[in-house]
Amino acid sequence: MSEEEIQEIIYNDLGFCGCGNPEVVLQFVHQALRLIKQRKESGWNDDSNTAIETHFRSEKDELFYWMAWYFLDRSKLIEHGTGVGGSWLTEKGEDFLQYLDTHSISEILKA
């Protein structure tokens, strides 16, 4: 992915504006995409489902749980069939995860 495509995802698709705490949100997105990918690779086993539930429910708030899924879905980083909680990465999500895995958050946000 190009720098321009990364910035498009961060500022347009994910809706970052540069204020607040984008590092924390991008760290959450990075870990969420990683766990969603691992779940698919593991054959959707119970451990991978538990890891996702734990990550998404870390705020102990049902509202946050569903907003996080909708946020990733709306950004077209994931897609789903009958339920958003059973999502998988899109090609765009795979590419973005690969970029996040190879660049630091501070480096990405300074671009």
The mean per-residue pLDDT over the stretch 10-17 comes to 91
Kindly report which listed range (7-11, 18-22, 105-109) carries the lowest average pLDDT score: 18-22
HSE-CB at 35 with a 13 A cutoff on CA atoms is 21
Q: Are 100 and 56 in contact (CB under 8 A)?
A: no
Q: Which pLDDT does position 2 carry in this prediction?
A: 93
| The residue count for the chain | 111
Tell me how far CA of residue 84 lies from CA of 3, 19, 29, 75, in angstroms.
Answer: 29, 28, 15, 13
pTM for this entry: 0.82
Percentage, residues of the chain above pLDDT 70 = 96
Contact indicator for 72, 32 with CB cutoff of 8 Å: yes
Count CB-CB contacts under 10 A for residue 49.
15
- Kindly report the average pLDDT of the chain as a whole number: 90
- Per-residue pLDDT tens over the stretch 15-69: 988 777 889 899 999 999 999 999 999 999 999 999 998 888 875 677 788 889 9
Write down the residue that tokens 């999500």 correspond to. 93
